[in-house]
Structure 1
Amino acid sequence: MTQIAPLAPRPDVLDFLLTRRSRPAKTLTTPVPDRGTVETLLTAAARSPDHGKLEPWRFIVLQRDACARLASLARSLGTARTMDANKLEKDVRAFADAHLVVAVVAAPKASDKIPEVEQVMSAGAVCLALVNAALAAGWGANWLTGWMARDAGFLAQGLRLAEAEFVAGFIHLGTETVAPPDRPRPDVGALTSWVET
């Protein structure tokens, strides 16, 4: 049997993961990654865990005009539903101010072996992988959801999703204009149990 060499330590990658910080979507501007760069980022994101190799997710790349169209749809639907005006405006601005957004669509597949919850978690892993790939490539990135991510009307009209599909994350990409301060992080010790037997 062939012996495999142990993985070489990558302290630079570990340092990146220990210090990574999403950039607020409202602070992102142009330029945005070009098509080739986005394809590379999506390729990196697609290397996420996927039990059963079902690929229970897909990507919709929303460019500027598409973002503006979704902002208008969100305003129309939210107004018709008499949503809180201030909250609605914040949700609308997330698309109205965006120049490039990748919708990571959770698309669970029928399977006797892989529960839907595992497939949805895989879509979530893709979202984080895409954010991290963008940050590692020097772009600002932020993972948002909001009511639009699960609203049947918004998803059908705006993104033409199938009934069983929803958006695991709207990943906003662009150039950061402000370096955000770090925020308080979880107390890992308080959240961890060590089981010896």
Structure 2
Amino acid sequence: MANPEKSASEFLQTRRSVPAKMLGLPVPDRAALMPLLMAAVRVPDHGKLEPWRLLVLEQGAMARLAALAEARALALGLDADKTAKGSAQFETGNLAVVVISSPKPSDKIPVSEQVYSAGAVCVSLLNAALAAGWGANWLSGWPSHDRSFVTQGLGLTADETVAGIIHIGTAQNTPPERPRPDVPALVEWVTE
């Protein structure tokens, strides 16, 4: 699936996420997903704490979480649009990896650095999936920030949070290009 002709630099400068609603079957099986997960965790991890864990959501889990998101939206009194958006990523998804920020006690490594490491796992998994030829998208949404949803639905402890939900599948269409940052306007050169 990957294009061996494309350099790593060219890949990174031209990569595009595929909107989750444009992802379909097939999805990587466990054997195809494992190298992506192994690549994902090769991130800066000061103190070698592994302050994250991964939860792979297969289709049965996605249906259960869609129903839970709908129930939580009702309990929270959310409007129809927010309810639909919260449950749709699970209802229409076929495979997703939840990257869970799971900070470890440390006198040397601040929690903020551990959380950044979990974010690095998200972008590394996203890029590993895209480089392997899959479509992928990093989502979160209100359910991933709802303590009841993440505790009941994903089994998170009180100290854990969702860093991101990476949906992986086959792109059904070419993703649209979008405006990119004006890098020169964002860069400041410090000379002294």
Given the two structures, how large is their TM-score scaled by the length of structure 2? Answer: 0.96
Aligned residue number for residue 152 of structure 2: 157
Q: Give the match for residue 147 of structure 1.
A: 142
Q: Does 1:183 align with 2:183?
A: no
Distance in 1 separating the partners of 2:81 and 2:34: 35
What CA deviation, in whole Å up to 9, does each residue of 1:122-141 have, x standing for no partner?
Answer: 00000000000000000000
Letter in 2 for 1:105: I
Judged with a 3 Å threshold, the aligned counterparts in structure 2 of structure 1 residues 57 and 70 are, in CA distance, closer, same or farther, namely same
* Amino-acid identity (%): 56
Q: How does 1:15-94 map to 2 (within 5 A)?
A: 15-94=10-89
Structure 1: 4+ residue segments shifted above 4 A: none
* Aligned-partner SS, 2:48: coil
One-letter amino acid matched to 1:177: Q
The letter of the residue matching 1:136 is A
CA–CA separation in structure 2 for the residues paired with 1:129 and 1:147 = 23
Bigger drift between 84-93 and 61-70 goes to: 84-93
> How far does residue 11 in structure 1 lie from its aligned partner after superposition?
6.9
Deviates more, 1:177-186 or 1:64-73: 177-186
Could you tell me how far apart the structure 2 residues matched to 1:11 and 1:20 are? 11
Gaps of 5+ in 2: none
- Secondary structure of 1:52's aligned partner: helix
- How far does residue 150 in structure 1 lie from its aligned partner after superposition? 2.1
SS in 1 for 2:112: helix
Q: Does residue 167 of structure 2 align to residue 167 of structure 1?
A: no
Structure 1 position 28, deviation (Å): 0.3
> Using the alignment, how far apart are the partners of 1:107 and 1:179 within structure 2?
35
Deviation digits for residues 70-102 of structure 1, max 9, x if unmatched? 000000011111112112101211100000010
Per-residue CA deviation, residues 7-64 of structure 1 (Å, 9 max, x unaligned), is xxx9711000000000000110010001011111000001011111110000000000
Aligned residues: 188
Provide the C-alpha distance between the structure 2 equivalents of 1:37 and 1:107, rounded to a whole number of angstroms: 25
- 1:196, 1:160 → 2: CA distance? 49
In the alignment, residue 29 of structure 1 is paired with which amino acid?
A: G
Query: d(CA) in 1 for partners of 2:61 and 2:128?
Result: 23
For the pair shown, the structure with the greater C-alpha radius of gyration is 1
Decide which of 119, 124, 127 is 2:119's aligned counterpart: 124
